[in-house]
Amino acid sequence: MKEREVELKLKKDVEGIGGFCLKFTSPGMAGMPDRLVLFPRGRLFFVELKAPGEKLRPLQLKRKEQLEKLGFKVYVIDSYRSIELFLQEVMA
């Protein structure tokens, strides 16, 4: 399975339950997560997508830690199962 397949399924599933799954690029700040996932009631999550078993690069890990220090949730999703677990957690 490729990262793109995981990304497309995440987008489809998020939109299917009424959220937005926006591609996120931040010029001037490399290493930011791939997607912003927004749900009703002001819930926002950062998502970094990976192919199954792939790990974060050092700069991605640094950005994840910086965002979490500010109080944001950052998820690393690398499979259909991790999409399912992500949605169960954020929709609870």
To which H or E segment does residue 48 belong? strand 43-49
* d(C-alpha 17, C-alpha 86), whole Å: 13
Each residue's pLDDT, cut to its tens digit, for the chain (92 residues) gives 899 999 999 999 999 999 999 999 999 999 999 999 999 999 999 999 999 999 999 999 999 999 999 999 999 999 999 999 999 999 98
Distance between CA atoms of residues 39 and 76, nearest Å: 18
Domain ranges, residue 42 = 3-91
Q: What integer pLDDT is reported at residue 1 of this predicted model?
A: 83
Q: How many domains is the chain partitioned into structurally?
A: 1
Contacts of 50 (CB under 8 A, 6+ apart): 3, 6, 56, 76, 77, 78
Q: Is 36 helix (H, G, I), strand (E, B) or coil?
A: strand
CATH code, domain carrying 79: 3.40.1350.10
CA distances from 53 to 13, 44, 88 (A): 21, 25, 21
Q: What is the pLDDT of residues 23-38, one digit of tens each?
A: 999 999 999 999 999 9
